[in-house]
Structure 1
Amino acid sequence: MHLMKKAFLFDMNGTMVDDMQYHVIAWHKIVNEMGANLSLEEVKEQCYGKNEELLERIFPGRFSDEEKQKMSRDKEIAYQQAYKPHLKLLPGLAAFMEKAKQEGIKMGIGSAAITFNIDFVLDGLGIRHYFDAIVSADDVQISKPDPETFTKCADQLGVAHGDCLVFEDATKGVEAAERAGMQSVVITSFHEPEAFSHLPEILFFVQDYNDGQLEGLFQHRN
């Protein structure tokens, strides 16, 4: 297995922290208060891309940009209040990032979250120093599955797209990585492996960062 990736790009929600259920619950309450009448499972299917994009998919043409931004902020505040007591990295990730840093592998975050949410996780866990590039929803025109999140992250790191490995938990994120010319490792915190069967550029699936398969990412390095 000759990988020699020069950079690791992490999605955040569901990939670094196991928080997706809290996002789903916060959205479920907000969209149903607006009359969407969606189940938790139906809301889960919409949990990708920018907040404003999600609202536009559920309520086409109904809300102004200002209204969508306010609903987005309200949702993130509800999510943060609910998740804060449980805020922690996925098992094994702290040691994995430390090893990557020692091996000279650059690290970046490519997330559809707004900066407000990325700050909540990075500063709440004290891990900002690991990342030389952070691309949020605020930094891209179109969110995943468009590849811009990951290509911009790689460009900020100064690493060729094909030399980056993406860590993702969502099908739209893996699709974005493939369209950016990158392979992925999938964390199965939010979706089962079957959901990714149409996406060929996946190295392997892991439940968390204690999985022995990840050791292979560090072998044969000069």
Structure 2
Amino acid sequence: MAQAFLFDLNGTVIDDMHYHARAWYEILNNDLNAGLNWDQVKAQMYGKNEELLIRIFGNGHFTREQLDRLSVEKEKRYQQAYLPEMALIPGLQQFFEQAVLHQVPMAIGSAAIPFNIDFVLDNLHIRHFFQAVVSADDVAISKPHPETFLKAAQLLHASPENCVVFEDAPKGVEAALNAGMKAVVITTMHGKEEFAQYPNVLFYISDYTDPQLKQLLG
């Protein structure tokens, strides 16, 4: 039985990564003339928004104010497109409730900015399930650096080796590995083959109705 559950947000709690990719694709190509194809955009979708922009355009290309403006603009476009479709991934509400019954504390550990995390937690009315939230603003370096998950574990007073991370992205699973944590992969955006190099994956699920999850609750 796990001591704590740490959840990534986008693609893990909600199946919204296509909407993020589309918002980035529009900004990077239509607004910033990056000339990236869909797969190239998808490959860059990890870490903080500013980190993504720096990876593509180089350090110093944008001012701090431009990075902040582009980050918020991307999230506004994503939120406008996704809000009518917003829903928890099937089975997750029930899994949250079972975790509460088994007294397993939970946290969000996400590279999203608070503007985005609040959008999800408050519109879906799930904030009460989490004893801690770690956002992009709470860490110096985002995933695959382990700081996000280590800070979440610390806030829950849980040891890393007894935490289970729920992730949809290879870089997120790598962050869990770097933090000394096991991971459950939900295959909303990436196939199993993209996680083959990570020895900390417990198992794969397509949603939270998967019976394998019962083993985590004793």
Q: What displacement does 1:115 show?
A: 0.3
For residues 53-202 of structure 1, the aligned pairs below 5 Å read: 53-60=51-58, 61-202=60-201
Offset of residue 118 of structure 1:
0.3
Partners of 2:38 and 2:152 in 1: CA distance = 32
Could you tell me the percent identity over the aligned residues?
56
CA distance in 1, matches of 2:216, 2:160: 17
Cα deviation digits, residues 32-63 of structure 1 (max 9, x gap): 12110111111000000000000001111311
Q: Which secondary structure does the structure 1 equivalent of 2:112 belong to?
A: coil
Q: Does 1:5 align with 2:2?
A: yes
Q: In the alignment, what sits opposite 1:214?
A: 213
Give 1:17's aligned residue: 14
Aligned residue for 1:151, secondary structure, equals helix
1:93 shift after superposition: 0.1
Which deviates more, 79-88 or 30-39?
30-39
How many residues are treated as equivalent by the alignment? 216
Question: Which consecutive residues of structure 2, in runs of 5 or more, have no partner in the other structure?
Answer: none
Q: How much has 1:139 moved relative to structure 2?
A: 0.3
Q: Distance in 2 between matches of 1:64 and 1:208?
A: 40
Kindly provide the amino acid, as one letter, of the partner of residue 169 in structure 1.
D
Aligned mates of 1:97, 1:11 — CA distance in 2: 14
Return the letter of the residue paired with 1:198.
Answer: Q
The 4+ residue runs of structure 1 with deviation greater than 3 A are none
Deviations 1:82-134 (A, max 9, x none): 00000000000000000001100000000000000000000000000000010
Q: In structure 1, what is the Cα distance between the partners aligned to 2:117 and 2:32?
A: 26
1:41 lines up with 2:77 in the alignment:
no
TM-score w.r.t. length of structure 1? 0.96
- Cα RMSD of the aligned pairs, angstroms, is 0.5
SS of the counterpart of 1:178?
helix
Gaps of 5+ in 1: none
